[in-house]
Chain A
């Protein structure tokens, strides 16, 4: 079993839709949770960063962490074609520990 599981997609939605992306994990020691966006032929870029449980909002993006279920989510409101990319979740045990990435979900937002 992988430490971090993520549905590879692709997930295809119409422009303006609310998108829900999810990851599950097995290591209860994970404390720091991140979402990265990776465009084709580019490196990942950090979107959201959450410590422990709870919600965090940044513009159209909301990150949720449910440590009791070992489940994290990223919601994208009013999705745009420019949101089309692969979304990677990542997590780590403590602030300086190495990142463990999920395999990524490919999102396509249709105009």
Chain B
């Protein structure tokens, strides 16, 4: 069955430090990959997506992610974290571009130290 794993439940980084959130997926074909962010009491905001093409994708708020087929990974990165980045981050996989069904990872909570 298709699945998404975010190995880190909770990560704490200092403001200004770099960030990498890990995401691994299990799927036979090339999936459609997404990163979403959720602030407390809010819905999900799309940070970036990968459908095809360049494996390094740029998103909003200075985030980027790299698709590595050999490692079945789609890790999210940011060179310098801001206090406002504190939130929960979800990696998701879509199995077909024709449906809205997404399979989500369990999420990673990011805490930013001043």
A and B together in one complex: no
